[in-house]
Structure 1
Amino acid sequence: MILNCEIERFISEDLGANDISCTLVPEKEVSARIFTKEDCVVAGTEVAQKIMEYFGIQANTRVVDGDEIKAGDAIFEVTGNSVAVLRAERLVLNFLGHLTGIATQTHKYVETVRQYSDAKVAGTRKTTPGIRKFEKLAIIAGGGDPHRFDLSDAIMIKDNHRNAMGLENAIEAARRMGGFTQKIDVEVETAEDAITAAQMGVDIIMFDNMSPGQVIRTLEELKHEGVRDDVIIEVSGGINLSNISEYAKTGVDVISVGSLVHKAEWTDVSLEFMDTDH
C-alpha cells in the first residue's frame, strides 16, 4: 500500500512551487490511455491507481500486478481534469516503468530457474532508499521472493560480524537476543563455517560468492555430516542470467540476486490523451 503522506512527498518533489507546464492547458475533462510499448510483466498498478485517485482521476484497468502483457496493451484507461492528469502523469509512469521493469526482470530469472529446480529466486536489500517496499512488491509480482524487507525481519550474520566477534560468538549472540519469530541467516565462505553454523542450529546458511562447483562440494560435506536437511541453503553473489541455471542445478533452496532491482531496465510505458476538441 501507499500512504497519502508518501504520495504528497512525491508530488512535492515533482511539482515544485511554480508549475506552469501543467497549467498551460485549459482545465477540462479529458480521457487518456496508459499503455506499454514492450512485452512485460506488470507491477505497480496499485501505486499508480492510488496516485491518480489522489488527484481525483478515475482510472480503470483490467490487469493486476503479475500479469503478462504485450506491447501496445493498455494498463489503464483514465478520465479526469486535464491539469490533474498532467500532474499525475510522470509519477504514475515512473512507478509503472520502474516496477514493471523489476517484475519483468524477476520473471526472466524465475523462468530460467524453473527449468532446473524449484529453488526460490529472492531479492536482496540492494534497493532504492525510500521506495524499497514497492521494489520488493515488484519482485513478488514477477514470481520472486522479496527476502528481508528490513533488518528486523531476520537476523543475518555476515562477514563483518564474523570478523568483529567470530562466527560462533555471533551465532550465540543472535540466538540469545533474537525473538522466537526471527530466523538466523548466516553467510559463509567455507564448508567448515557452513558445518559449524548448521551444527549450531541456525535456520539458513547463505553460501557467499561460491562457484557452482564449490556449492556442490559444500552441500556434499553438509550431507556427510548429516546436517544438510536441517537448514535452508541460500546462495548469493555474482549471480546473473548467464549463470543462474548452473546454480539452480546445484540443489540449493534459495538463489538471492541483487540485480533483480539494481540492474533491471525500466519498461517503456506511456500516457497519451485521446482525441479531444480543442
Structure 2
Amino acid sequence: MSATPTPYLTSEALSTFIRTALAEDVGDGDHSSLAAIPADARNRAHLLVKGEGVLAGVALAQLIFKEVDPTLQLAVQLEDGARIRVGDVAFTVEGPARSILTAERLVLNCMQRMSGIATHTAHLTSLLAGTKALLLDTRKTTPNFRICEKWAVLIGGGANHRYGLFDMIMLKDNHVDYAGGIAAAVQATKEYLQRTGRQLPIEVETRTLAEVQQALDAGGLARIMLDNMAPAQLREAVALVAGRVPLEASGGITEQTIAEVAATGVDFISVGALTHSAGSLDLSLKAY
C-alpha cells in the first residue's frame, strides 16, 4: 500500500485555515497599520532567507496575500522545495502597504514552521538512501495547523500517513487491549466496515513477534506496525511476514537510529518528530 494521498489539500480547506488564522490575528482590524500608514500608500517587501534548509510555504503565502488583498502582486523567485541559504530572496510582494503589513505575520509564521519541517524531513529522508523505506509523518501535529505541517512533510520529500481518525483504521495497543486482542479487534473492525459500507484500510500495531503472527492470521490488513522494536526484532518480523503485508516501523526512531531501522527491510518508517520536534527556519519579510 502506498502512503496516504493528499485529499486534505483542497482550496476549501486551505481557505478555511487562512480565514481562521487571519481572524485570530487581525480581529476587528490591524490598528497599527491603520493608524500609522496612509490608506493610499503603496510599498514592496521581499522574503529574506536567514537560515539554510528547504523552503516551504511559498504556495500558501500566495494564498494568504490573495485572501488579505487580491491586488497584492507577488513575484516568486524560489519555489517550495528549493534548497536555500542565507541571503536568498524567495519572493517579492508589492501593493497597498497596509495589506502587506497585515499579511506579514501569518505568512512568516506558516513559512518558518513549514520550512523547518521540510528541512528536517529532507535530512531524515537522505539517511534512508539505498533502502526501500519510505518516511512517514504521524498525527503528532499542532492542533489546527496539521494541514500545513503535513504539507511541509511532502515538500521535504517525506510522505503522509493518515490525515486523521477518519481516513484509515489504525488499531493501536489500547484498541487491541480494550477489544480483547488482535483477532477480536480485527474481526470487530471488519464487521463495522461491512455494516457501515465504508472502505478504509486497516493497520494493526504490534509489540511482539507473537502479535505480528496474530495480525497475519487475522488477515485483511493493509499494513502492520512494528512498535518500538529493536533492529534485530524488526529483521525477524520482516522475515516472518515475508512480503505478505507492508510493514511500518515506529516508536522512538531518531536521526541516529533511522538508517539502521531502514536497513532491516521495513517498508515504512513513521517519525512523530518530523512535526512535533522540528524547529523553525529563520525568514523575514523586509521592506526594500
Q: Which residue of 2 aligns with 1:92?
A: 107
Q: Which residue of 1 aligns with 2:266?
A: 252
The 2-side partners of 1:168 and 1:267 are apart by: 46
Matched, 1:150 2:168: no
Matched, 1:26 2:38: yes
Q: Which residue of 1 aligns with 2:27?
A: 16
Letter in 2 for 1:64: E
- How far has the Cα of 1:170 moved from its partner? 0.5
The 1-side partners of 2:102 and 2:60 are apart by: 15
Could you tell me which of 40, 53, 58 is aligned with 2:53?
Answer: 40
Matched, 1:72 2:106: no
- 2:285 is paired with a residue of what secondary structure? strand
The 2-side partners of 1:64 and 1:198 are apart by: 44
Letter in 1 for 2:44: S
More displaced 10-residue stretch of structure 1: 154-163 or 20-29: 20-29
- 2:151 is paired with a residue of what secondary structure? helix
Letter in 2 for 1:51: I
Contact map agreement 2:132 2:266 (CA 8 A) in 1: no
- How far has the Cα of 1:117 moved from its partner? 0.6
Q: Which residue of 2 aligns with 1:182?
A: 200
Could you tell me which of 211, 215, 218 is aligned with 1:200?
Answer: 218
Q: Which residue of 2 aligns with 1:133?
A: 147
The 1-side partners of 2:102 and 2:280 are apart by: 21
The 1-side partners of 2:157 and 2:80 are apart by: 10
The 1-side partners of 2:117 and 2:17 are apart by: 21
**Closer, same or farther: CA 177–158 of 1 in aligned 2, 3 Å:** same
- How far has the Cα of 1:18 moved from its partner? 5.6
Deviation per residue, 1:30-81 (Å, 9 max, x gap): 0110121112212111211111012222112133222222221111110011
- 1:35 is paired with a residue of what secondary structure? strand
**Which ranges in structure 1 are unaligned for 5 or more consecutive residues?**
none
Deviation per residue, 1:91-114 (Å, 9 max, x gap): 000100011111111000100111
Contact map agreement 2:53 2:83 (CA 8 A) in 1: yes
Structure 2 length-normalised TM = 0.88
Q: How many residues align?
A: 268
Identity among equivalent pairs (%): 39
Q: Which residue of 1 aligns with 2:4?
A: none
Contact map agreement 2:37 2:97 (CA 8 A) in 1: yes
Structure 1 length-normalised TM = 0.91
**Closer, same or farther: CA 3–123 of 1 in aligned 2, 3 Å:** closer
Letter in 1 for 2:88: D
- How far has the Cα of 1:177 moved from its partner? 2.1
- 2:204 is paired with a residue of what secondary structure? strand
- 1:124 is paired with a residue of what secondary structure? coil
Contact map agreement 1:30 1:82 (CA 8 A) in 2: yes
Q: Which residue of 2 aligns with 1:49?
A: 62
